[in-house]
Amino acid sequence: MMKHIYTLGEIVYDIIWENGIIRSGLPGGAMLNTAVSLSRLGNTCSLISRLGNDSISKIIETFLKSAGICNDHIKHYDGLTPLAFAVLDEHKNAAYQFYKQNSANDPGFIFPEIRAGDYLLFGSFFSLQDHNYRFCLPFIRKSRENGALIMYDPNIRRKHNGEMHNISARIREYVKLAHIVRASDDDFRIMLDIRTARNAAAWVRRHSDAVLIYTIGSRQVHVFIKDKEYLFPVPKINPVSTIGAGDTFNASILSDCTRLSLGPELIHSTEKSLWKEICNHAVLLAQETCMSPFNYISACSK
């Protein structure tokens, strides 16, 4: 049976600024970026999200169709698609400003029936917001109960630092449901004021049996499985843009999980040599994204 990967999260249209001028505009959002890279890696992928009923939504839908992503689970609402202004600094990292229209009528989601053998990735502040959390949590819980492999990427930005006391319990609920948690050192610093990989792993172990993939920028990848720790270095590059690098990293991890048939029952028994292969591949593709002006890998990458 064909394995199906679902990503759940926000769709935006990215407008990227550098040196005071607009460099590009393209469909974005962490889970859209991941879905595009997953599809280009040869996977069957659906995006669960929402779109407005404007001209930008039509541009995005055309793009998703050309990328081979199923949009059956994208719900339209009467309003404008969010814009994200991403300003690149001298290190090619982005600071974001979002422009959204709040809708009086919550459109909800079109959730699929996820089964054993499927994979689900979700995360970002999108999944923590009140009007999304009440829909997302039951769906993710049911997906785990049905036997799907669940991957969670908190992807918390510094702008949310002051809101963490309101949402930390929600993050714990999501970590409990995940089989894989992929989080950066920045995520743990912002979420919990945790500043080392081992302290992050200890916190995850208190709440979940999930595998923790802990990334430290462009330097290191740590993998924690129960009482084991694997450390993999990251080669240094001079990026064009870091936008989408983490999303491509996630796509590669999930793509290799499907290729190797790593489900919930096998994820903890994977040996260091295989995790090295999986993480090195993810780093390679993430760096490819960093060396391009796009948020995802090229159509010819494998």
User: CA–CA separation, 110 vs 127, rounded Å?
Assistant: 15
Strands 220-225 and 211-216: antiparallel
**pLDDT by residue (tens digit) across 214-256?**
999 889 999 999 889 999 999 999 999 999 999 999 999 999 9
First to last CA, the chain: 21
What are 19's two structure tokens? 């040196």
Q: Which fold, 4-99+116-290?
A: UDP-N-acetylmuramoyl-L-alanine:D-glutamate ligase (3.40.1190)
pTM: 0.95
pLDDT at 238: 93
User: Each residue of 44-84: pLDDT tens digit?
Assistant: 999 999 999 999 999 999 999 999 999 999 999 988 999 99
DSSP string, 255-297: HHHHHTT--TTTGGG--HHHHHHHHHHHHHHHHHHHTSSSSS-
Residue 115 and residue 146 in contact, taking contact as beta carbons nearer than 8 Å: yes
- Give the pLDDT of residue 164: 65
Task: Dig out the tokens for 151 from the structure.
Answer: 């991957």
Judge contact between 127 and 177, C-beta under 8 A: no
Residue 285: its pLDDT value, please?
A: 97
Instruction: Tell me what pLDDT residue 137 has.
Output: 97
Tens-digit pLDDT profile for the chain (302 aa)?
Answer: 568 999 999 999 999 999 999 999 999 999 999 999 999 999 999 999 999 999 999 999 999 999 999 999 999 998 899 999 999 999 899 999 999 876 656 778 999 999 999 999 999 999 999 889 999 999 999 999 999 999 999 998 776 666 666 788 999 999 999 999 999 999 999 999 999 999 999 999 999 999 999 999 889 999 999 889 999 999 999 999 999 999 999 999 999 999 999 999 999 998 999 999 999 999 999 999 999 999 999 887 66
Q: How far apart are CA 259 and CA 33, in angstroms?
A: 20
Rounded distance, CA 231 to CA 68, Å?
35
Q: Is the separation of the CB atoms in 234 and 219 below 8 Å? A: yes
Tell me the residue type at 265. E
Please answer whether residues 158 and 128 qualify as being in contact, where contact means their C-beta atoms are separated by less than 8 angstroms.
no
What is the CB neighbour count within 10 angstroms for residue 173?
14
Token pair 């491509």 in the structure block, residue: 248
C-alpha R_g of the chain: 18
